[in-house]
Structure 1
Amino acid sequence: MKAAIYSERQLDHPLSIEANQYSLNQLEHHELNAYDAVLVVGSGKVDEETALSVPVIEKLWRYVEQGGRLYAELISAFDFPSSRLFGWKQDFPKSRRTLEKLRVALKDASLPQGALLEWEGAMAYGFSIHTETWLDFGAFRQTRESGEDDGTSAFPGLLSKKMGKGLVVYSAFSLLSRPHGTVLRPHWLWNQVLAKLSQATGIPLAGLDPIIRTGADKPAEEAVRRNAQWFLRSGMLPEEDGSTGVYENVHSVTARVSPDRRPDCHAHTALMMHLYSRYTKDPSWSERAHRLLQYLFDQGYQDMNPESETFGFFKWYQFPGERPDQIFTDDNAWVCFVLLYLYRRTGKEEYKRRGMAVAQALLSTQHETGLRPNMLIGAEMEAKGAAQASAEHAASFNPHFESIAHAAFLQAYLVSQDSAYLDTAMRGSLALLERMGELKFMYSRTSGLSRFLLPLGYLSRKDPTGRIRQGLDEVTHYLLSHLHSLGGIEEADNPDPERFGQEDTGVFLYNGEEIADQLYTNNFLLMNAWEAWKATQEDKYAELYQNLSRFLCGIQIESPNPLFDGGWMRAYDLRHREYFGNNGDTGWGPYCMESGWTNAITSAGLLLGLLDESVFDE
């Protein structure tokens, strides 16, 4: 087959055969009958409309009527000649896709009806004219499929029509003009749709050659080595030596490095690099770890003014104010945890001084129950006093926040031997266990209880009543009930499936969707299962750790693009074995790659196993 492509820009491998590519303005001057298929691709930019002149439309019309196959994409169809040729009339100028998805609309047994796909780029609203709709688009909330009766407004996205001896295919969204090669998801379904479209129309649209691949089993030491290289090659470190900190993530939608700097991500990454330095006996990694933390100190992320009500706390991000504003429990507790652990390992007094300042700030704002609000506001603390501001807010009863605070208190106890820290961690953990039915969760019950495990192993050795050990077993029993055959924990029990299109939502809606979360569940559970094993020496915890290690090493990304190679994304489709999940979280969506929360913590969990040690070793 001979094909020609006319486009606003050079396209990357859009066809399954070689095709001549030309600029769009050459279309008027070429003889089209020499080609079996002609593809005309407009601009994918939302501020540019691509229109064809009437003589060109007439030329394409004759080409199709005589038996040619025409594919058109994002060509303005406001006028009658264009709309009648393409079988699609445009209502409004192009807009940018945000949360919209595509849905299989073609009634064909070879395609799963109502199955949902994602893309990135432009889209245009319109209506079809005597065409067959292959895909429609709309703000579908579901993860995998959506029926026609779900109440969501749908608009034609990919259409075909027969005309004379030939046919026309029209795309009202960025398919060939997509901004980069990672945005068509899920790959398995796109390949089915493109194969069927190519077979039915004769337009040789290529299947996807994924830039992101997984499924290669590897030992833990190889996975850690590759992830360490990801930090160096992906751009997450603005300076390779760590002197200017670490960026937060590769964004889920844009696939660009997000230049935010957060103390918790620095702490996670410093922990991983410290462990990696000890495992490899390469001091450059421990030096990087120190520079990451020193960057936070030098840039004033921590309030070290003893006269301030926010003394000891860290800013959430590079907040331009002088003192912390939004003070999240988990973010501060993670910095505290890592600083004090590293002090115990390195003896650096600055880590102790700053880590104990956070620990005391947390302890002084803790409720008598051993629990606390998930967030405090700096201005309110300055106005009312830290303790009073905390007392006026209810405790969160959310292990996502509470358990890392308890783990930080255990590090403070190991450093200071002050029993107030141990007692508070014990009291708070018991309070959660006694009210298990009232616990609050953000993304899923699986993610929250994965976090709950971290302090319980150590505390079980300090609890003469045995209640902590019983609770450790209860939490683990629930998690094991959602263990997938691949070795990861499948997301379950979403507390708010209707929460969609906001920050902090799950990457699944309902049980049985077979999605694994590596931002909030399996990543932390890897380390936490290891700690439970080290504390109890019970086989079920060792087996859970081994399963998780096998799973996470197997889903590490392999890619020719250093932005992705050696890392982990948030949502993994256990059913089809590729990265995919519900896109309802606008802040940390299914394809984000967190420097600290996912990648560093995952590698830290693997390294603890390789080093055969606990973060609570005394």
Structure 2
Amino acid sequence: MLYRVGFVRDSESVPASSVALIGPPGPAAAFTAALDQAGLAYETYDELPVELARYRAVVVLAGTYPEPGRIDSSRLAEYVRAGGSVYVEYTLDDGFLPAGPVRDAHIERIFTREALAGIEPLSILDEQLSRAQEVIAPEGLVELLTYGSVAGTHKAVFGPPEHTFPALLDIPVGEGRLLYATTALSHHVRGRYKPVRRWTRLLQLIVAELTGTEAPTDVEVFTEPRVWVASGEPVKVVVRSGAKPPVADVELTEVSPGRYESEPTVLPDGEHTFVVGEQSATVTVGSRAERYRRMVDRGIAWFDRAGMFYDAPDGSRGVAEGFSNEIGFDGKLPFRPVPRGDCYTQTAHAFRLYADLADFPRGHAIAANLMRQVVDEEQLTDRNPLYGAFEPRGSRTDLTRTNNLFADDGGWISLFALISGHLEAGLRGVESLIRTANTELGLQVDPWRTPSTLMVKGWDEFGRSPIEDGLDLTSHWQSSALCAYLYAYGITGEPSYLEIAERGLDHMASHHPRARLETSRTCEAGRFLLPLAGGYFYTRKPLYLETLLDLAAYLKSRQGPDGGFAEWDGKCPPSNEAYGVDEASIFQANGDPVTDQLYGSPFAAWALPIVHQITGEPVFAELAEGVLDYLSRIQIDDPDDEQLHGTWQRAFDFEAWEYFGSNADIGWGPYCVETGWSVAPTLIAAMQYLQGKPFFPEVETAGRNEVVASVRSEFDSILAGEPAEPTFHLRADGRIIRRQGGVQAILGDLEAAGEPAWARNDPWNSYEIYVRGTDNHLHHTYLDDRAGQGRWQQLGDLELADDPVVAFNPGADAIEVYVLAADRRIHHCSMIDVRGGHTPWEPVGTLHFTGSPAVMYDENLGTVRLTANDTAGQDRRTRKVNRWHLPWQDYSHWLTSSPS
């Protein structure tokens, strides 16, 4: 249905001669839109036309951005001196235009000065790592726009910084006027500069300044709620404008300066469009279940559309982390291929739920493949204090390459491992978290722990360590581990899992609302819901319900008109100097209308339907529907955008109604996209609502005690320092696996062509492992009793024809390694003294053999002996004396000779 609302401009546009617009169509489009809105005629050119005098103004665009344009400016200078008005951006010439070194503006942003009418002073125009000329403006010029490192969301809240340089200069030249931009302001559309309305308005104002016309009235019309509203719920029309709209089909009332609203009205199902002047707003009314299902379908399709599964649509090669925050010159977000275990497991659960919701068998295959990779390749099973934890950034490797073991990542991975049925791996993750928790409080110590910290302290000392800086009260770090304990209790009935969860929840809930803020108070509130819900489900403690209701009241107070929870009390830069140098929130000050789709909204949306199901309290259903409605409204809807159609970015400004926020965070700014943490939890939330299945399982009282006891015995054995002899084998896919203490581990990505050989290296308290790779070179790694698995390293360029054989030589404290090379001779090297230090390959004699020798250490002779079959069919033997080998002898000679 179409509704028209009459609207009168402040003043009608003034007829004007045409404007010359010089530049390619892409950059020109930003200015042609502004010229059209001003009612001005224009002519477009690739190069400066010969005759400029007949034009009211001339606009020269940087069509080669990010490289500066180049022109012969002599005619342009003549035109300006004669009284013409010119806008030029990011262009080099022979001296008429301002000049300065070209550089990337890394963290500087553009902000307005007082001289630019139509946009408030110190308003921020976020330009996404632009390239600019660092021009030093001569005295007497008016600086309209400025580059500088400024903290703030919409405003530079601390004023201009000490170091700045111009972004847009107003330069009087003779009788005329030159507006010079040190960067390509016309790039704002392709470069996705934010906020869009402010950039659009800027170009309108530049056109007005050049031509001496009035800028068109800035009008915005929208509905509230925006985009979509559930059947039977009211909607109103809102107009923001400097001019008063007349009463028409929909009566509007001024409720605050420049804001006009209609009365809330319940509309029939369908699509409704409201028109004010040249602006319009459309709202769809329909079923909440259909809307959520549409959101889920589009979100699931995004994984394929955006290439998140690399080139394996079944997830067998993993899922990418997503897109980084830094928007490139081409307007694209950088692909972030990092294989994060938490993203894998959250994505797996989303596809598992979708497989059932949509009868989508591929979803089960994707979920199984992703979980298999995490369980098989990311859990640390070396027998040391890292045991049971998950390497959160890809397959396990040696200790020197192991990332920080983030407790929150480990908690999510452990939880989803349990949910997916990987009971032993999930319980190992839980036990690892328990043994890295403070014994008294049951909460994680040093949750972004380094492997070296754990290795040095060990489990006992770690459990006695104090929790610093109030980290015990931050749900950002603690909630996932608490959820994993609770879920483990539900599926095993093991009371100690519930007991440690209660210790942590009691401590956090009794201190509520005091909390350390990792990102914001709003995010902390959303993340605390799920573990409290699980605690209340299993214990019915009044403290947990009271805290849940307090959280509901807080979230209600922060909920905007479209259902999102505004960020509040954040980790925000305290000065301009602190902007962009550390992790930070995606808003600057309380009252900024920004929501967080990475750390906040998805987790609240996921938990709230579960809390309502467990408690029956209506407020949780209201909050759940509100935030899920909001997420469905802000899901990116642009089929032409393969990167973003169907997904969510981190920061959304619900007043500007676009993805925008403070860009101070050095890691995860407002424009990043995460497969886990953001997309997958949002989809899980919607499907949790649609399917209504219980999340926390009823307590299982039988059949799991043996598994719990077995997993705990693994940890106890490591703590007691009990040895566990390993074995190594070739798997069908060419990977080498280790079995130790009943636990299997895959040893890196090396593809082997044969079975491994290994020997105990007593002086180094390790095992040395050797294998022929598919490249027919020899590769080596080690298993240190304490430090764990090493990385694979190739030993020289010798080409092998058979698998290696090895033996420990106690007489030399060396590992002796023998291979049959492609030249059919047996070659030898030793590993001596230094870890991984091998002698060069040397042939053992000149005979040719059919295969690698048999090798053993002869205690009587105190030397290594070799037996091999030569190509003539004769058995041959030799032994090593010092670092040399005796000549090969035939079998009969070996039997009759006496030791020398």
Count matched residues: 585
Asked which structure has the greater RCO (Cα within 8 Å, sep 6+), the reply is 1
Give 1:465 shift.
4.4
d(CA) in 1 for partners of 2:176 and 2:694? 69
Q: CA deviation at 1:497?
A: 4.1
How far did 1:525 drift?
A: 0.3
Deviations 1:198-223 (A, max 9, x none): 12213999999xxxxx9532711101
Cα drift, residue 338 of structure 1:
1.0
Q: Show CA shifts across 1:232-262 (max 9, x none).
A: 1012221322111111121212312211111
Matched residue of 2:186: which SS?
A: coil
1:599 is aligned to 2:679? yes
**Cross-structure match for 2:277:** none
Q: How does 1:172-571 map to 2 (within 5 A)?
A: 172-177=182-187, 181-202=190-211, 215-217=226-228, 219-239=291-311, 240-254=313-327, 255-298=333-376, 300-305=377-382, 307-318=383-394, 321-323=397-399, 324-343=402-421, 351-368=422-439, 369-373=441-445, 374-392=447-465, 394=467, 396-397=471-472, 398-436=474-512, 438-463=514-539, 465-498=541-574, 500-559=579-638, 560-571=640-651
Aligned to 1:211: none
Match of 2:167 in 1: 157
Overall identity of the aligned pairs, in %: 25
Contact 1:325–1:379 (8 Å) recurs in 2: no
Whole-Å Cα distance in 2 between the matches of residues 143 and 320 of structure 1? Answer: 40
Q: Secondary structure at the match of 2:501?
A: helix
Matched residue type, 1:355: G
Q: CA deviation at 1:515?
A: 1.1
Structure 2 distance, partners of 1:140, 1:386, is 45
Change (3 A) 1:612 1:182: farther
Q: Give the Cα–Cα distance (whole angstroms) in 2 for the partners of residues 147 and 405 of structure 1.
A: 38
Are residues 508 and 354 of structure 1, via their aligned partners in 2, closer, same or farther at CA, if it must alter by over 3 Å? same
Counterpart secondary structure, 2:185: coil
The alpha-carbon deviation at position 68 of structure 1 amounts to 4.4
Pick closer, same or farther for the CA change 1:446–1:606 going to 2, 3 Å: same
Cα 1:74–1:151, aligned 2, differ >3 Å: closer, same or farther? closer
Greater shift, 459-468 or 270-279, is seen at: 459-468
Segment drifting more, 289-298 vs 494-503: 494-503
Conserved 8 A contact 2:226-2:562: no
Distance in 2 separating the partners of 1:591 and 1:207: 30
* Rounded Cα–Cα distance in structure 1 between residues aligned with 2:209 and 2:562: 36
Distance 1:303 1:207 in 2: 62
Q: 1:64 aligns with which of 73, 76, 80?
A: 80
Equivalent pair of 1:336/1:359 in contact (CA under 8 Å): yes
Please provide the CA RMSD for this pair: 2.8
2:375–2:417 Cα contact (<8 Å) kept: no
| Cα distance in 2 between the residues matched to 1:467 and 1:118 | 45
TM-score by length of structure 2 reads 0.61
Letter of the structure 1 residue corresponding to residue 359 of structure 2:
K
Q: Residue by residue, what CA displacement relative to the aligned partner does 1:148-173 show, whole Å, maximum 9, x if unpaired?
A: 85554332211233435543221112
Deviation of 1:414 (Å): 1.8
Q: Does structure 1 retain, via aligned residues, the 8 Å contact 2:388–2:428? A: yes
1:588 and 2:605 are equivalent in the alignment: no
Contact 1:106 1:113 in 2 (8 A): yes
How much has 1:146 moved relative to structure 2?
A: 2.5
Match of 1:99 among 107, 116, 129: 107
After superposition, the Cα gap between the structure-2 partners of 1:238 and 1:601, relative to the gap in structure 1 and judged at 3 Å, is: same
| 8 A contact 2:86–2:210 mirrored in 1 | no
| 1:141 shift after superposition | 0.7
Change (3 A) 1:319 1:175: farther
Q: Letter of the 2:608 partner, please give it.
A: A
Rounded to whole Å, the distance in 2 between the matches of 1:487 and 1:221 is 18
How far apart are the structure 2 equivalents of 1:425 and 1:572?
Answer: 34
The one-letter amino acid of 2:58's match is: A
3-state SS of the aligned residue for 2:632?
helix
1:376 shift after superposition: 2.2
Could you tell me the TM-score, scaled by structure 1's length?
0.88
CA contact (8 A) 1:230 1:566 kept: yes
1:1-35 deviations in Å (ceiling 9; x for gaps): 3534247x96473431675453xxx65x9555576
Matched residue type, 1:125: E
In structure 2, the CA distance between the partners of 1:295 and 1:12, relative to structure 1 (3 Å rule), is: farther
| Structure 1 residue 571 displacement after superposition | 0.7
CA distance 1:108–1:167, shift in 2 (3 Å): closer
Specify the alignment match of 2:884 in structure 1.
Answer: none
| Counterpart-to-counterpart distance in 2, 1:270 and 1:450 | 22
Q: For residue 563 of structure 1, report the CA deviation from its aligned partner.
A: 0.5
Relative to 1, partners in 2 of residues 1:41 and 1:358: Cα closer, same or farther, differing over 3 Å? same
Residue 278 (structure 1) shift: 1.0
2:178 to 144, 157, 168: 168
Residue 363 (structure 1) shift: 1.5
Contact 1:376 1:389 in 2 (8 A): no
Provide the rounded CA distance (Å) in 1 between the counterparts of 2:52 and 2:465: 75
| 2:141 pairs with 1:131 | yes
Question: What is the rounded CA distance, in whole Å, between the counterparts of 2:78 and 2:540 in structure 1?
Answer: 87
SS of residue paired to 1:273: helix
5+ unaligned residues in a row in structure 2: which ranges?
Answer: 1-17, 37-41, 219-224, 229-283, 285-290, 328-332, 699-900
Q: Which amino acid aligns with 2:434?
A: L
> Quick one: structure 1 residues 161 and 389, their matched pair in 2 at CA, closer, same or farther if it must change by over 3 Å?
same
Whether contact under 8 Å (1:570, 1:593) holds in the other structure is yes
Asked whether the 8 Å contact 1:314–1:327 carries over to 2, the reply is yes
Aligned pair partner of 1:5 in 19, 22, 29: 22
CA–CA distance in structure 1, aligned partners of residues 410 and 510 of structure 2: 26
Question: Is the partner of 1:13 in helix, strand or coil?
Answer: helix
Report how far residue 353 of structure 1 moved: 2.1
How far apart are residue 604 of structure 1 and its match? 0.7
Task: Note the C-alpha offset of 1:71.
Answer: 2.5
Instruction: Summarize the Cα distance change of 1:334–1:575 in structure 2 as closer, same or farther, 3 Å threshold.
Output: same
Are 2:134 and 1:113 equivalent residues in the alignment?
no
- Indicate the residue corresponding to 1:348 in structure 2: none
**Given the superposition, is the C-alpha separation of residues 465 and 598 from structure 1 closer, same or farther in structure 2, using an over 3 Å criterion?**
closer
Does the 8 A contact of 1:483 with 1:489 survive in 2?
A: yes
> In the aligned structure 1, how far is the partner of 2:192 from the partner of 2:335?
16
**1:190 to partner: Cα distance:** 1.2
Higher helix share: 1
Q: Deviations over 1:320-352 (max 9, x none)?
A: 742544111110110111111122xxxxxxx22
| 1:37 aligned residue (55, 58, 70) | 58
Q: Tell me the secondary structure at the aligned position of residue 367 of structure 1.
A: coil
Quick one: which amino acid aligns to residue 173 of structure 1? Answer: T
1:15 to 31, 34, 37: 31
> Is the Cα–Cα contact under 8 Å of residues 606 and 686 in structure 2 kept in the other structure?
yes
